[in-house]
Structure 1
Amino acid sequence: MNKLKIAIQKSGRLSDDSVKLFKECGIKFEVGKSKLKSTSRNFPADFLFLRDDDIPGYVEDGVADLGIVGKNVLVEYGNDVESIKELGFSKCRLSLAVPREVEYPGVEYFQGKSIATSYPNLLGQYLKGKGVDAHVHQISGSVEIAPGIGLAEGVCDIVSTGGTLLSNGLKEVETIFKSEAVLIANNKLSDEKKELLEKLLFRINAVQTAQNHKYVLLNAPNDKLQQIIELMPGMRSPTITPLAQEGWSSIHSVIKESDFWENIETLRKWGAEGILVIPIEKMIS
């Protein structure tokens, strides 16, 4: 039987988020610090636990059929793979940073200076677009130490919260690239594996759509039902149930979480009360 070989990062936040996604898709497999491969018990897939930087190459070569990587890695290495879907998690940014005591005038500060980075291609493209001629000093890992030891006047590195920069006496001054997790695929998947990929995407879409929506229940006076229904249209239409108290009804609907918070004050003004907001595990249109 055909199986998908899916490469994910073996440790770190991207690994945790990727495993969480597959678990929420109902795919069961074992995860452990020393594991390099795991077979799903209920979905035709093998999971390979690899270094993030290696995943695009393994997918390009067909060692893995699919992979989850940071978009920054995918663009930096430029492997010939198909980008299937941006996944919306493990968001971060690639930023320029300088010592905190530096008075930073703008990107022209880096003209003629040295910048330490693990992302020379992305940085080079950015500097070229800005017309800045700087020396890009490529190093792997712990680039934050470079200014402190006199290796470079600035760094270009991945930033999530900025805590690592601060702890090393640096400040973020320019964002050059925004990244998130991306599902990639080999360009030559068989028809059978393409079919399995579609089944996997169906599950992923159901999980992610549910994460952005909430099931809302509330009680409302009947004379405001139409206005409230227009704010809470639901997947097809809301469920309206009369309450024992005359002149009142219960409204059940599914709406985007962002829409709920935008409209909550209006709902309350129209007399809505007893409002319950319930997470949705899966949502299939």
Structure 2
Amino acid sequence: MLRIAIQKSGRLNEDSLKLLKECGIDISNGVNKLKAEASNFPLEIFFFRDDDIPQYVEDGVADIGIAGENVVFEKNKKVQVAEQLGFGKCRLSIAVDKREEYDDVNYLQGKKIATTYPVLVQQFLDKNNITAEIHEISGSVEIAPGIGLADAICDLVSSGSTLFMNGLKEVETILKSQAVLIKNANLSPEKEELLAKLLFRIHAVRRAKNNKYILLNAPNEKLDEIIRLLPGMKSPTVLPLAESGWSSLHSVLTENDFWDIIEKLKAAGAQGILVVPIEKMIV
């Protein structure tokens, strides 16, 4: 049995459970339960505070866990990052009063900085040869400058709307963060094998999200030109249509290249282009 720790509430909880569901793992955790077991995969799920997950994984209470990189790096526990998961993206940034003139990091020399991430802030200051006073507080960091507690703050930022509403502006990014799957450094061979099976499913789900399946009709005299535009996983599938002189092509496009290639396909004579989401993608 593989034991995984996920956030019991907060921004990563829903996406973590959604990922496990997309991996075909059926979990019924009821209401306010701190432990659950999958019915169709040897997986036991613990629901913990996000700040505690790296410690529990290091101690072996959980074999693996899902946490933000910001928490993993701040806690600095002896765990290994097994996979970046692509959700929960945010950044750990320094912000100051929007009326302040901020030229560069030297502005922070001798200042007071309020944060819940003292380790990462200190690393940033040391890297830039800045001496500043760090005030560690547990919440409502954004109000610190307004009540005279600090000259600047360092906190997680997603849209920046909270900073704006509190009269602050973002001036330095310390860390770009996303959810990661961490693991205990001393997993048994049996649990490493279960983790490999879980990662296989996660990779299939993540590839599917980054790709689109397309079907299109093309005149046969344009096939070579259109095929050159379709990289696919290996090469496009080509099937003859009932109408003479036409074929149907099936392929896969990455999300980043999608619209650019679709425009080129239209210009090359492709018609009836259908775009279908992919649920799983195994290569």
* Aligned match of 1:112: 110
RMSD across aligned positions (CA): 1.2
Name the SS of the counterpart of 2:257 in structure 1.
helix
Which range is displaced more, 244-253 or 80-89?
244-253
Structure 1 counterpart of 2:47: 49
**1:103 Cα deviation after fit:** 2.0
1:173 aligns with 2:171: yes
1:11 corresponds in structure 2 to: 9
Distance 1:167 1:131 in 2: 31
Q: 2:186 aligns with which of 181, 185, 188?
A: 188
Once the two structures are superposed, the pairs formed by residues 1-285 of structure 1 within 5 Å of their partners are: 3-32=1-30, 34-285=32-283
Q: Which moved more, 1:28-37 or 1:185-194?
A: 28-37
1:247 to partner: Cα distance = 2.1
Structure 1 runs (4+) greater than 3 angstroms displaced: none
Q: Structure 2-normalised TM-score? A: 0.97
- Distance across 2 between alignment mates of 1:74 and 1:229: 45
Deviation track 1:164-222 (CA, whole Å, cap 9, x = no partner) reads 11122211111111001110111111111111111101110111111111110011121
> Residues 100 and 90 of structure 1: is their aligned pair in 2 closer, same or farther, counting only changes over 3 Å?
same
Deviations 1:104-159 (A, max 9, x none): 22221111110000111111111122222111111112111111110001100001
- How far did residue 33 of structure 1 move? 5.0
Query: How far off its partner does 1:32 sit?
Result: 4.7
Q: CA deviation at 1:49?
A: 0.5
TM-score, normalised relative to structure 1: 0.96
Structure 2: gaps spanning 5 or more residues: none
Counterpart contact for 2:4–2:45, Cα < 8 Å: yes
Which shifted more, 259-268 or 37-46?
A: 259-268
Count residues in correspondence.
283
| Cα distance, 1:232 vs structure 2 | 1.3
Specify every segment of 5 or more residues in structure 1 that has no aligned partner in the other structure, as ranges. none
| Structure 1 Cα separation of the partners of residues 103 and 186 of structure 2 | 48
Structure 2 Cα separation of the partners of residues 217 and 54 of structure 1: 47
Q: CA deviation at 1:224?
A: 1.6
1:13 & 1:76 partners in 2: Cα distance? 18
